[in-house]
Amino acid sequence: MNILIVAATHDELKPLIEKYKISLDENISTIKISNHSITFLITGVGMVATTFHLTKFFTENINFDLAINAGIAGSFFSEINIGEVVNVMDERFGDIGAEDGEKFISFIELGFIKQDEFPFMNGKLISEYIFENELSDVSGITVNTVHGNDRSIAKVKKSFHASVESMEGAAFAYCCAQYKIPWIEIRSISNYIEPRDKSKWDIPLAINNLNAWLINFIEAQ
């Protein structure tokens, strides 16, 4: 397989980078692992950086069987354990729209795009790549500012009914869909989405579990 692995930061892929002695030249590297060609791309944090670097990359490189967005994320629900790796089956942009008093209106609800207009399906960016895995399937939202206020958290949970939140997932999914590249988004939970208290977070556990899953996935293909 020809696989692209996209992450926002080097740290999120550090165990994998160290295991395979990957040298990232200008945040890009391609190596052979288990008869697969694996390309690694570090985009930087957020939707703007992800969209820019992926679009720039895809203008010259689109021959991929699969693109994987790998990273850590926050969970809205305690039923998902800290350190648990999940498969984000669908994504939505969580803060592109307008405020109407206390209500948030998405850009789709505003009528700027129809909910089934490509690449959206029922207002979501949905992964159609089928693969065997033991992960929980969840819905995600992507935001510019991660939530850390009880009031805003309650509003976004009511509006989107998502399980996890990241700063890149929907941008990644949107770019892959536009270039017709199959994609999956794999996230490991580093924290719960609540008023910010980093003493409750476990980023090292999330990163280690994420990379263990990625290594097993690559070597099992």
Q: Is residue 87 a contact partner of residue 136, using CB atoms and an 8 Å limit?
A: yes
The angle formed by the CA atoms of residues 158, 166 and 102, to the nearest 5 degrees, is 30
Note the pLDDT tens digit of each residue in 207-219. 999 999 999 999 8
Q: Is residue 192 a contact partner of residue 75, using CB atoms and an 8 Å limit?
A: yes
For residue 122, what pLDDT is reported?
94
Banded pLDDT at 102 (limits 50, 70, 90): confident
Q: Is residue 190 a contact partner of residue 92, using CB atoms and an 8 Å limit?
A: no
Mean pLDDT over each residue of the chain, to the nearest integer: 94
Both tokens of residue 204?
């090292």
Per-domain residue ranges of the chain: 2-220
CATH 3.40.50.11810 fits 2-220, yes or no: no
Banded pLDDT at 82 (limits 50, 70, 90): very high
Read off the pTM.
0.94
Sign of the four-CA dihedral 13, 18, 24, 28: negative
Share of the chain above pLDDT 90, in %: 81
Banded pLDDT at 135 (limits 50, 70, 90): very high
Encode the chain in three state secondary structure. CEEEEEECCCHHHHHHHHHCCCCCECCEEEEEECCEEEEEEECCCCHHHHHHHHHHHHCCCCCCCEEEEEEEEEECCCCCCCCCEEEEEEEEECCCEEEECCEEEECCCCCCCCCCCCCCECCEEECCCCCCCCCEEEEEEECCCCCCCHHHHHHHHHHHCCCEEECCHHHHHHHHHHCCCCEEEEEEEEEECCCCCHHHCCHHHHHHHHHHHHHHHHHHC
Banded pLDDT at 62 (limits 50, 70, 90): confident
Banded pLDDT at 33 (limits 50, 70, 90): confident
For residue 121, what pLDDT is reported?
95
Decide if pLDDT at 171 tops 90.
yes
Least confident of 67-76, 79-88, 106-115, 204-213: 106-115
* pLDDT, mean of residues 142-164: 92
Banded pLDDT at 35 (limits 50, 70, 90): confident
